[in-house]
Chain A
Amino acid sequence: MIQIKRLVLDVLKPHQPYVSEFARAIASKAEGSYVKLKVLEMDDKTETLEIIIEGSDLELDAIVSAINEMGGSLHSVDGVEVMNVKEE
């Protein structure tokens, strides 16, 4: 079974909600996940983020939906790590 263990996303978001709230919304979509968020660029109304998410079985669709719900927009998936986990 192929599981996504790590994602690196390039995301554009409005200044509000704050990054802490944004990270929390993403983390809420993947139990036990670790979310690292870095602001790469700040504009008048938006900011560009690099989001690194690590977890045991990440679901990209759920994460993208969380990003969109918070007003963000996924620009690109810059990195992905997957693992072929042996099914029991």
Chain B
Amino acid sequence: MSFEPFRKIQQFISISQSYDIARRYFVVNSFDGALTMLGLLLGFYVSKGVDLAVAIPACLGAAIALAMSGLTSAYLSEKAERKIEFKKLQDAMVSDLSGSAQDKASRWVPIWVALINGLSPLLMSLIIITPLWLVQLGFELPLGPFQSAIGVAFVLIFLLGVFLGRVSRTFWLFSGLQTLVIALITAFLIYVLA
């Protein structure tokens, strides 16, 4: 026996086959969020003397913008895609599928995919800027706030690589190092160009 609403959600995900799409969105947008924060933090770090009272709202602003962009773009595109798919299915079935599980899934899936797409970069960003908040609140960290936050960003990007490795059933360390190298190249470019 399983909890009925949970079972319904599982059914919608299965019917729409949206688990893979959501997972892809999660990785892509988490990566976006983490790299954006890394870029901002490195920018603040190299320009030196940037106050936390400036850096935190700037990072938060970017995080919220990423979340809104993720939410709306995924919702609108998925809604359009699902509508087309549902119409094709109705044509193939030669019947009105209003009220069916497919109809409900086609309306529900854009919402859940949009939430994944929007909340993943926001969550990543909030975790990454946590050291900035901690220092602002008076906590002492072994490294400076920007170095700590940059360190967290590298760790999260590495973990995203590990997650991708597990999904693709490749060696997790190799996959983690691969994303870490991308982050290091980004950091190098910012450091050189900024």
Interface residues of A (CB under 8 A from B): 12, 14, 16-18, 21, 43-46, 68-71, 73
Contact = CB atoms under 8 A, between A and B. Distances in A.
A14 B95 CA distance: 11
A46 B93 contact: yes
B83 interface: no
A85 B49 CA distance: 90
Interface in B96-123: 97, 99-103
B60 interface: no
Contacts of A69: 99-101
Nearest to A67: B100
Contacts, number: 43
Interface of B: 11, 14-17, 88-89, 92-95, 97, 99-103
A18 B14 contact: yes
Shortest 5 CB-CB distances between A and B: which pairs? A45-B92, A71-B100, A71-B102, A16-B15, A73-B95
> Among the interface residues A18, A70, A71, which one has the most CB atoms of the partner chain B within 10 A?
A71
30 contacts: A14-B89, A14-B93, A14-B102, A16-B16, A16-B17, A16-B102, A17-B11, A17-B14, A17-B15, A17-B101, A18-B14, A21-B11, A21-B14, A43-B92, A44-B92, A45-B88, A45-B89, A45-B93, A46-B93, A68-B99, A69-B99, A69-B100, A69-B101, A71-B93, A71-B97, A71-B100, A71-B101, A71-B103, A73-B93, A73-B94
A69 B99 CA distance: 7
A43 B89 CA distance: 12
Given A21-B11, A69-B99, 8 more contacts: A14-B92, A16-B14, A18-B14, A21-B14, A46-B93, A68-B100, A70-B100, A71-B101
Contacts of B14: 16-18, 21
A12 B93 contact: yes
Contacts of B99: 68-69
Contacts of A44: 92
B158 to A, nearest CB: 36
